[in-house]
Structure 1
Amino acid sequence: MVSKLSGPAGKGQRRNQCPFVTIEEMSTVSPDHIDSFHQSLVNGGYIKYNTGAGIVEGKLNVHLVPHSHDDVGWLKTIDQYYVGSNNSIQGACVENVLDSVVESLLRNQNRKFVFAEMAFFSRWWYEQSEEIQETVGKLVDGGRLEFICIFVLRNGGWCMHDEATVHYIDMIDQTTLGHRLIKKAFNKAPRAGWQIDPFGHSAVQAYLLGAELGFDSVHFARIDYQDRAKRKEDKSLEVIWRGSKTFGSTSQIFTNAFPVHYSPPNGFGFEIDDFSIPVQDNPHLFDYNVEQRVNDFVAAALVQANVTRTDHIMWTMGDDFQYQYAETWFKQMDKLIHYVNKGHFVLVENRGRTSFFFLLWGWVGERMGERGGSWLSWQERNYASHEAHVEATLGSQLYKIVLNNNPRKSGNIAFRTCGVHPKTIEGTVFLETIKLTLLLQSIPEDGRVNALYSTPSMYVDAKHATNEEWPLKTHDYFPYADRINAYWTGYFTSRPALKRYVRMLSGYYLAARQLEFLAGRSSNGLNTFSLGDALGIAQHHDAVTGTAKQHTTNDYAKRLAIGASEVGCSACKLNLVTEATVNSALSCIASKNSGQCAASTSSFSQCQLLNISFCPPTEEDIPEGKSLVVVAYNPLGWKRTDFVRIPVNDSDFVVQDSTGNTIEAQYLKVDNVTINLRNFYTKAYLGRSPKNVPKFWLLFQVSVPPLGWNTYFISKASGKESSRSGYITVMDSPQNESIEVGPGSLKMSFSSTTGQLERMFDSKTGVSCLTFPLSVEPVFFDKMNWGEVWFSVVQFNCEQEYYDHPVDLPIQQSYLWYGSSDGGLDSQPSGAYIFRPNGAPPTVVSRSVPLKVMRGPLVDEVHQQFSPWIYQVVILAMDLGLHKTIFDHDRVLVTRLYKDKDHAEVEFTIGPIPVDDSVGKEVITRMTANMVTNKVFYTDSSGRDFLKRVRDYREDWSLSVNQPEAGNYYPRAADFDLFFPRLILESLPRIRNQNFLSWLIVPLEESSIKDGQVELMLHRRMIFDDGRGVGEALDETTCVENTCEGLTVRGNYYMSIDLLGDGAQWRRTTGQEIYSPLLLAFTHEKLETWTASHLTKGTVMEPNYSLPLNVAVITLQELDDGSVLLRLAHLYEAGEDAKYSTLAKVELQKMFRGKKIKEITETNLSTNQEKSEMKSLKWKVEGDNGDETAPLRGGPVDNSTLVVELGPMEIRTFLLEF
């Protein structure tokens, strides 16, 4: 080997250039055997670092895992992060990261890298040439580029999703999107979950988006600071996590909680602008520090080893948007691996005044065999004043290799000068000649530490091979606090409008994909990918959480809106239209002639702003001779009956069902709050105000078959034709009486004195005579006041129903707000992430509420004015037993009671929250009952399993309570239960075991601060930033021209009461109906023309077939390759319900009427590997005695019968070929 080396240069002189030539001493050792490092003489020449280290038994193995955590939007938008724009906010460019990493990996075959966010990688991948794609494919094949994901969802997910505010279906969808990209590009399946940054971790993440994906492990950084301290002490940061009570050990996963964060130990971050000291191994330069850096490395490794089991520890070598110039990281890691593993060093320093010597001792015995020994390379470094002496004595630069492993002994020294043949003299003679006094400092080899490039999968395999016994973890990692007074529970509610939008479009996406499959994917490229991409991005742990900057949040909402309508995908070169796809598909499947699918003339419209009464197709005048055609699609696997509520401008319509029969309908005045919201927000969203304001809501009942549709026709009444439509009666609250509303079994009672809720009663015993009008005669109509409409009932019908179990619950409802802390003495305010009240009790909005009652043929309403910014309306259905409450103005609550569903639906409208007093406010509604609950309540895990919560208690450590409110708030994606094992009902003569349940359609947060109380946090508006990086207060405003006001939100939650153990059926069935609402589409057409050309009612299933009520279709989608993805989910946990926590069966051939299934393949949850190929690692667990009962799971699918079995909580995924 030949290398260009330069000798010392004198003042005004040019350095001599002299090639280095390896000298053999007595020809005993071939130069080919000499380590390349020693050939370089470490004086500025090339050094080939030995980075190929593997695991070494008996040493502490430090697994260096290079990674870059790239938020899919946070301080900048996803596209700004990708291309590196808007760097005034943050200098970050993911495109540079991927370009740079690939280049660095190609320089050294031992280097590795972990990447998680496929939303970024997809952008980069489709921009690359075929040559680059092939090169990257080789890196992945060689295990050097590992795609891991978050959470479980994802390793290799579209994003690193949140785990608190997301729904499990969204987690599955975004993970599948990323995994299918990896499978298509590289034919690989990720093995490890990489959820390093989400703010707490859910049980569903562990088993569903972990083990059920085929992951061996999940890795993350954020756990409670008290929990981390205890786990460090017990060496229990790494555990076996069993997140499911139903599946137990069959869905367990190895879990690695990092000791500090997802960055490396202090002093070992090597981004180009970091302050860490690099390894300086060129002794020809100042600040040579190899010894010190190795010592630092060993010390940091030993510290981590003291809190970790086995001889393997992981260093996460990266941080947010790191590796933009990857070589700064990899070069330092190369050096660390090389020097840490090399052995010991010997420093020889010349004590002379004008020069000093360095000796670097490297072990190369393994390379040189028996003739080897240790080789010592050393270099003379001269100051200018000594140069003349060296030049006169020895010529120019001296190169030497010293043989023997002890420089104190006399040995042969080989050296040469430029232009002179090599010379050999005795080492002692040479030393005496130049008359230098040497100081030898020997540093013994540590022998305990081995460093290597690694990945999460390699790390877990090494852990598994140790056969260690691991601690058991159940439950979840919520709530999370990173220090005292800093609970990250505020984000459970932050930006509730975005949270609702995500949830609404998630259900829409589920239905749209079904319709896309039923109609067949369009050959012109129309599909639902755009919405899937936007929803995948929105699940990111700084998106749906509400913890991004405002301009980034706007970008998330914009992408969702475009995804729901239309967008062009430059990467995929497709024009993607979701709403157009749905409209086309609805027209196609309803057509009597399948040939019309390709060129349907029907023009459907949908109404995304229906909740604020904006729906142009229903508000327009119906053309003469035509009807308003309403097609309702049901994405559930069972028949459903529901109300449709649309805004109209007339009060004389006839509503007909698909058979032409006239059905009951009712008008409700559109309240002023809704009108104000409509006018302001349509202008804000659409840039224009509606010309007309609808006067009424038109309500009617629909019934839709499973995976099917039904059509309803609305037309002007003509002549003597009866509209069978009812108006409403308005009356002021009576004095000194309780007001009972609710025509079904579930009723609510309100105080006429305070106007507030007093009790809920479910009359499930005795006989109840339910009356409803067959016809209605308007008596009085005040055109000056739309709220005053009277009617008289002409005829009633009575039905008797028998109930066995009455439930009576005294309960009060109130609205309050917590004042947000400004930080206090420890400078920790409440903010987007953190909920920290100011210490004062929450302020009650109002204790006396004006009351107004409205009654009609289909619904009753109770209006309550809590304050100038809280208004509530309770609406009760006559036919279905519907009771609804509405909050108008700043906060409006609407509650609906359904006779057949036994629940109250509450629709709230909140905002703008006033902050003129410079106090941030966190708005809650509180339900209070006189009962003892022993601090126990239950919340869901990502809308799937139920977890027991105990106030001021943690399962894994003794909790030090410093925030009694914030520390007891938990995320709620769907459900909340308050169980009362010792419920005291003062209104009854006996004690009964009952429970109170509350369901939420949007992800918020909930707590039980006192026994018998439930708190729902609904909206937040802050004054201060909480210091977690966003740099903005959570102060959402909406502006129209020069008018700006705080954000107003409208959402829903649901309440029910049942005997203990009887609530599961309502919770699971209603929850699925809420997540997957009816999809409505509107058009105008002549009734005769429509019925002649369209099937007015139909289903993809056999006419008399439906799925069991404990099974849901959570995915039905045609994929790019023509195969069909089908996911079926059992909705119940083991032991949750006597009837439905059982084995369920689905007959696929009946599910797909008229289609023949040619092939069926069962896969893992994300479809990237066949189920039969999944292999899980077996782990030893402390205290595990092996007496666990095996969970009930479905068996293999018989290709002849095509019957799918599902056990409790089981989700089965199939790829079908038709």
Structure 2
Amino acid sequence: MYTMIYCAIAFTVFISLCLGAPLKSSDVCGYNACNLGESNKLNVHIVPHTHDDVGWLKTVDQYYYGARNDIQHAAVQYILDSVIQSLLENSDRRFIYVEIAFFWRWWMQQTEELQNTVRQLVNEGRLEFISGGWSMNDEGVTHYNSIIDQHSLGAEFLRNQFGECGRPKLGWQIDPFGHSRQVASLFAHMGFDGLFFGRVDPQDYAERYRTKTMEMIWKGSANLGEESWLFTGVIPRTYTPPDSFCFDMLCQDEPIKDDPQLHDYNVPERVQAFIKAAHDQATGFATNHIMMTMGSDFQYENANEWYKNLDKLIKYVNAQQANGSDVNIFYSTPTCYVYALNKLNRTWTTKTDDFFPISWNEHGLWTGYYTSRPALKRYERYSNNILQVTRQLNAFSNITLRHGIFPLSEAMGIAQHHDAISGTEKQHVANDYAQRLAQGIDSAIYVINEAYKKFLSKENQSLPVPTQFLCQFSNISECLPIEGQDSFTLTIWNPTIQPIEHIVRVPVTQKYSIRNPTGAIIPADLFPISESIKNIPGRTSTAQYELLFRTPLPALGFNTYYFEARTDVTMEKKSTTRVIHNEACTLQNQYLRVEFDTQGNLNKITNLDKNFSVSFSAQGFYWYAAFQGNNSRPEFQSSGAYLFRPFTPNPLPVSSSRNITCTYMDQVQIALIVYNNWVSQEMRIYDEARTIEIEWIVGPVPVEDNIGKEIIMRYDTDIQSNGIFYTDANGREVLERKRDYRPTWNYTVHENVSGNYYPVVSRIWIKDNQKQMTVLTDRSEGGSSIHDGSIELMIHRRLVYDDSLGAGEPMNETAYGKGLVIQGRHILVIEPPESSALYHRPAAQRLFMNPLNTYALPKLPYTNYSNSYRQTWSALAELLPYNIHLLTFDQWSSKVFLIRIEHYFELNEDETYSKPVQIDLQILFNTLGKIKDLIELTLGGNLPLNEMNRLVWKTNDNQSSYWKSTNSNLLQSIIVTLNPMEIKTFQVTLQ
């Protein structure tokens, strides 16, 4: 029922961009609606706003309807009701709105008459959408694919309902806990003219305020030049009003009492207090324009209370100009504020690094959330994988069921919220996020099945296509529907544009022969599932073994494998399986050798192909004792969902001893290292692989001693890293980090561990002149290099105190009555620096865009099955460039598609693959039809690129921002050139 309702709503609202011209609008919205102030005055741009968290202390539903006000008084539906009515009462009033997840829901409940009234407010610039994402996404732990998607989801709704006047022109990231250079670059490519946020490190803030550099040009990419530049401003007071000027029903400040007959008439005092607040704020800014945010969390439920007082404030403050005051105050928006600054035609300072990490106080670093709720972080990444595959299947099968994908798209948009994937929400809200993703996946499975009905069916065959299903607990070696079956099929879709060699692991309760799409029986290793996996709470499978085989997969296509139970010796591997317990052992394939001692210590990894080794003094699991305090002062700051503060800088090993078992098979060699009853890891090298896979299990983390524990995995090597390490930004570009250092301000160290932690969304590495060690992650984790030659990644947290930043409960996740168990994966790449990207870039892409397995129970002998169903298919008949990735392949209508392609190497990263590359887009559509026309769009997909006219800014180093675009909507060629790190977005129409 849930899925059916949401699909119906999606179908109603999300009419594809291509199906009609955007709504006509007046020419008084956007910059045309702006009051630019007066040149000889201090112009105060009053910005009424509300910050509506898409879940945090309450669920999305509870926040919208105003339920559970015992937790927090908040009701978004009444905020929007009230604001619209107040705007209609006075044409001078302005309001901005950000979170489309809420606005979309409210919009669907309004009458057509009120919708048209709201459209008029938007057309007149009185109601303005800022940022326009489904949520205000986090910037530290989000993946760029999901950031783009959630902004595109909101942008599509706004364009369809409001036309050009609904298109946001600015990013508004006022609440996230640190800010990414990559996000700035993405926003620039969405066509934004500026970005504002409220949280920076206090040391950074103080320096910027002192030097009047609160606003700057942020150079968002080291690869993409001026096109990635974005005007960026830091908002004072995060996003709240000046002291004593909050007029919301949630506030306690005095209203403006303007009847002179009253004994407590306060207009003169209020006016002078405001003029002082304006001058005080102006001391930190470089121009005669300042912006004052008038609003905060879930404010304006009674908008009349706000606006009635603001109307008076504007009237009486401006009246003082007759008495010599230079303060000019008026209703405005962030868009108009940026436009006013741009019109000053001045130069601005620049920034090339990012705003990570930031602190709350001297001992409270916002670095705990990099790892908080690791299960949810992984589930979000897994859900994105399913979302992208489902879009591809829908598009290539041409079943036009895009509305069936909307529930998962919407759940993913909500999950990007800065109190969702960040892990900083209450537990019941985290459960709600996970449930939404699960329901979205259920809806996607329907689309997947409809697509495979077309793909698998052979002509002139009337047999129904077997129902496909996901085994979502494969990560703990569980797939209940196939247990004990005499036969089943596994269909694997490869979502990349490259044919790949793929490792498949299937949990089984008996021996099977496996037939590939040609009918040939393929070799497989049968190996026992570890006790660590089998003992995970909640696992109900009786499978004792996994079948492992390596197989090629076609690009943008699928293979089906037929499993048939066998009782003969076909699957026996005794002759080729060797097991060693608690002895020194070596894993080795054609390219790598991994050496362990008798205690299970990793001693050395040798790259046989490049003839060098990395020696390890330690590799394993440690824990920091979480600081426990009452949070009354900085020195008593606790570790919590947001903050990471270790009690001491030296972590303890999880165990003083360990057991090692090495298993050798034809296609894989495994070292299983058990530390204790709650920590273990399996280190694997596969035949012909150039990377090492490390699969770890941590939990339940013991807290019976009432000590919170922050669990890390550490790799200590002989690499001479000299205090330098590298982390990725949102899965894309990589930034250099230097221990105890900030590039743009003098950093005073108060916490020498957490102050050096950075978000690791996909990779972290250290290197010297000869060797580089890169660790790839399967989800976002906090990471650092606290000592030379060392990489550490925080993989789990279980705390017993709260950090008093809002959640109101410890980060103490449980499941099945025990502490939460986390299973995860790292990929280790040992290469010379000059060739490392050739291996870690594609491996990182595969970790977030993995082939998708679906199973079926056809109840047919193989001969009948092969005669009835297609077993392999590919959308591509020829190879495409190795350094190109298909980011988005979405069908808008039967003949119109949205695609994004990207060059995923950086400049100078690889001698061959860091060069510009061409791609013929027709190759992607050969199975669908001939391309009729091609329109290049902005990254958000809501504007033809040649119609984007971004504001031009000048920097104090005599540079100027600009945007190069094509001269025509219709491209003359379907052969596209991409430069390193470039993403291009197209609307493709077929004949």
- TM interval, shorter chain, is over 0.9
Partner of 2:445: 579
Partner of 2:874: 1099
Question: Partner letter of residue 318 of structure 1?
Answer: G
- Contact residue 657 and residue 713 of structure 1 kept, 8 A: yes
Which AA in structure 2 matches 1:1184?
Answer: N
Identify which of 829, 834, 838 aligns with 2:643.
Answer: 834
2:190 and 2:517 map into 1 onto residues whose CA distance is 44
Instruction: Report what 1:203 is aligned to.
Output: 181
Q: Distance in 2 between matches of 1:533 and 1:585?
A: 21
- Post-superposition CA distance 1:703-758 (Å, at most 9, x none): 11110111111113377877789773323233xxx421122311211012x32100
Distance 1:843-1:667 versus aligned 2 partners, 3 A rule? same
Per the alignment, in what secondary structure is the counterpart of residue 1088 of structure 1? helix
The reply to whether residue 191 of structure 1 matches residue 205 of structure 2 is: no
Distance 1:621 1:462, change over 3 A: same
Q: Does 1:497 align with 2:375?
A: yes
Residues in 2 aligned to 1:207 and 1:1055: alpha-carbon distance in whole angstroms? 28
Alpha-carbon deviations, 1:142-198, whole Å to 9, x = none?
1111111xxxxxx10000000001100000000000000000110131101011100
Show the counterpart of 2:863. Answer: 1088
Structure with more of its chain in helix, by fraction: 2
- 1:700-719 superposed matches below 5 A: 700-717=549-566
Q: Does structure 2 conserve the Cα–Cα contact (< 8 Å) formed by 1:168 and 1:944?
A: yes
Query: Could you tell me how far apart the structure 2 residues matched to 1:727 and 1:541 are?
Result: 50
Q: How many residues align?
A: 950
Cα displacement (A) at 1:289? 1.2
Structure 2 match to 1:1003: 780
- Aligned with 1:1063: secondary structure? helix
Larger fraction in strand: 1
| TM-fit CA distance, 1:1148 | 1.6
Residue-by-residue CA offset, 1:253-277 (whole Å, 9 max, x unaligned): 1101012210111111111131212
Tell me the CA shift for residue 672 of structure 1: 2.3
Higher relative contact order (CA 8 A, sep 6+): 2
Q: Is residue 979 of structure 2 the alignment partner of residue 1207 of structure 1?
A: yes
Determine the C-alpha separation between the residues in 2 that align with 1:52 and 1:1144.
Answer: 43
AA of the residue aligned to 1:1097:
T
Q: Is the contact made by 1:242 and 1:474 (CA closer than 8 Å) also made in structure 2?
A: yes
1:477-516 equivalent positions in 2, closer than 5 A: 477-516=355-394
Deviations 1:256-309 (A, max 9, x none): 101221011111111113121211111233311111111011000000111001
Q: Report what 1:924 is aligned to.
A: 712
| C-alpha deviation, 1:52, in angstroms | 11
Contact 1:584 1:600 in 2 (8 A): no
Does the residue aligned with 1:57 lie in a helix, a strand or coil?
coil
Whether the 8 Å CA contact 1:240–1:1181 is kept in 2: the answer is yes
Q: Cα offset for 1:1199?
A: 5.4
Could you tell me whether the CA contact under 8 Å between 2:148 and 2:940 is conserved in 1? yes
Q: For residue 350 of structure 1, what is the aligned residue in structure 2?
A: none
Alignment correspondent of 1:434: none
Residue 98 of structure 2 contacts residue 133 of structure 2 at CA under 8 Å; is this kept in 1? yes
Match of 1:760 in 2: 605
| Residue number in structure 1 paired with 2:275 | 298
- Secondary structure of 2:857's counterpart equals strand
Find the partner of 1:1141 among 914, 929, 935: 914
Identity %: 37
Cα pair distance change 1:1182/1:54, threshold 3 Å: closer
CA distance in 1, matches of 2:845, 2:968: 26
Specify the SS of the correspondent of 2:683. strand
Structure 2: which amino acid aligns with 1:581?
V
Q: Distance in 1 between matches of 2:988 and 2:403?
A: 22
What secondary structure is seen at the aligned counterpart in 2 of 1:179? helix
Read off the aligned partner of 1:1023 and give its amino acid letter. V
- Residue 593 in structure 1 maps to residue 459 in structure 2: yes
Cα pair distance change 1:1147/1:835, threshold 3 Å: same
1:313 aligned to 2:290? yes
Distance 1:448 1:1173, change over 3 A: same
* TM-score (norm. length: structure 1): 0.76
C-alpha deviation, 1:53, in angstroms: 7.0
Contact 2:524/2:571 (CA < 8 Å) preserved in 1?
no
When the two structures are superposed, what TM-score results if normalisation uses the length of structure 2? 0.93
2:514 equivalent in structure 1: 655
Summarize deviations over 1:363-411 as a string: whole Å, max 9, x none.
xxxxxxxxxxxxxxxxxxxxxxxxxxxxxxxxxxxxxxxxxxxxxxxxx
In structure 2, relative to structure 1, the CA distance for the partners of 1:579 and 1:1195 (3 Å cut) is: farther
Give the conservation status (yes or no) of the 8 Å contact 1:1193–1:1208: no
Q: Which of these residues, 930, 939, 944, is aligned with residue 732 of structure 2? A: 944
Distance 1:131 1:502, change over 3 A: same
In the other structure, the counterpart of 2:13 is: none
**C-alpha root-mean-square deviation of aligned residues, in Å?**
2.2
Aligned equivalent of 1:861, options 670, 682, 690: 670
SS in 1 for 2:475: helix
Give the residue type in structure 2 aligned to 1:1076.
M
Cα distance in 2 for residues equivalent to 1:724 and 1:485: 56
CA shift in 2, pair 1:664/1:270, >3 Å: same
Report the Cα distance in structure 2 between the residues aligned to 1:595 and 1:236, rounded to whole angstroms. 70
1:676 Cα deviation after fit:
2.4
Residue 849 (structure 1) shift: 2.1
Q: How does 1:440-589 map to 2 (within 5 A)?
A: 445-522=323-400, 527-565=404-442, 577-589=443-455
Deviation of residue 930 (structure 1)? 2.4
Alignment partners' CA distance in 2, 1:1199 and 1:108: 46
Cα distance 1:1097–1:268, how it changes in 2: closer, same or farther (>3 A)? Answer: same
For the 8 Å contact 2:550–2:667, the answer to whether it is kept is no
2:350 maps to a residue whose letter is L
Looking at structure 2, the residues matched to 672 and 504 of structure 1 have their Cα atoms a distance apart, in angstroms, of 25
Partner SS, residue 931 of structure 2: coil
Structure 2 residue 761 is the aligned partner of structure 1 residue 973: yes
- 2:594 match: secondary structure: strand
Q: Which runs of 4+ in 1 moved over 6 A?
A: 718-727, 1190-1198
Instruction: State the 1:932 CA deviation.
Output: 2.5
**Cα deviation, residue 636, structure 1:** 0.3
Partner of 1:664: 523
Residue 54 of structure 1 and its aligned partner are, at CA, apart by 5.7
Return the alpha-carbon distance in structure 2 between the equivalents of residues 531 and 503 of structure 1: 12
Cα displacement (A) at 1:131? 0.2
8 Å CA contact retained: 2:741, 2:747? yes
Q: In structure 1, how many angstroms separate the alpha carbons of the residues matched to 2:964 and 2:614?
A: 36
* Aligned residue in 2 for 1:821: 627
How big is each residue's C-alpha offset from its partner over 1:660-683, in whole Å with a ceiling of 9 and x where there is no partner? 111111111122222222xx325x
Q: Looking at CA atoms only, which structure, 1 or 2, has the larger radius of gyration? A: 1
Q: What is the CA distance between 1:1095 and its match in structure 2?
A: 2.1
Q: Aligned partners of 1:65 and 1:720: how far apart in 2?
A: 75
2:497 counterpart letter in structure 1: G
In the alignment, is the contact (CA less than 8 A) between 1:52 and 1:452 conserved in 2?
no
The secondary structure found in structure 1 opposite 2:68 is: coil
CA distance in 2, matches of 1:279, 1:52: 27
CA distance in 1: counterparts of 2:855 and 2:259, whole angstroms: 75
3-state SS, counterpart of residue 767 of structure 2: strand
Taking the aligned partners of 2:525 and 2:934, their CA distance within structure 1 comes to: 48
Task: Read off the aligned partner of 1:643 and give its amino acid letter.
Answer: I
Q: Which amino acid aligns with 2:347?
A: E
Closer/same/farther in 2, CA of residues 1195 and 808 from structure 1, 3 Å limit = farther
Q: 1:52 to 1:447 in 2, by over 3 A?
A: farther
* Distance of 1:1092 and 1:222 partners within structure 2: 62
* 8 Å Cα contact 1:1159-1:1216 kept in structure 2: yes
Q: Could you say which residue in structure 2 is the equivalent of 1:398? A: none
* DSSP 3-state at the match of 1:121: helix
Does residue 728 (structure 1) correspond to residue 501 (structure 2)? The answer is no
SS at match of 1:955: coil
Residue 213 (structure 1) aligned to one of 190, 207, 216: 190
Matched-pair contact (CA < 8 Å) for 2:936–2:971 = no
Distance in 2 of aligned mates of 1:182 and 1:1006:
38
2:128 matches 1:322 = no
Deviation at 1:961, TM superposition (A): 0.2
**Structure 2 residue aligned with 1:122:** 104
- Secondary structure at the aligned position of 2:501 is classed as strand
CA contact (8 A) 2:684 2:694 kept: no
Matched, 1:1071 2:844: yes
Classify 1:1121/1:128 alpha carbon distance in 2 versus 1 (closer, same or farther; 3 Å): farther
CA spacing shift, 1:846–1:1194, aligned 2, 3 Å: farther
Structure 2 regions of 5+ residues with no counterpart? Answer: 1-32
Equivalent residues of 1:668, 1:727 under 8 A apart: no
**3-state SS of 1:254 partner:** strand
- AA partner of residue 983 (structure 2): I
Tell me, in whole angstroms, the C-alpha distance in 1 between the residues paired with 2:59 and 2:178: 23
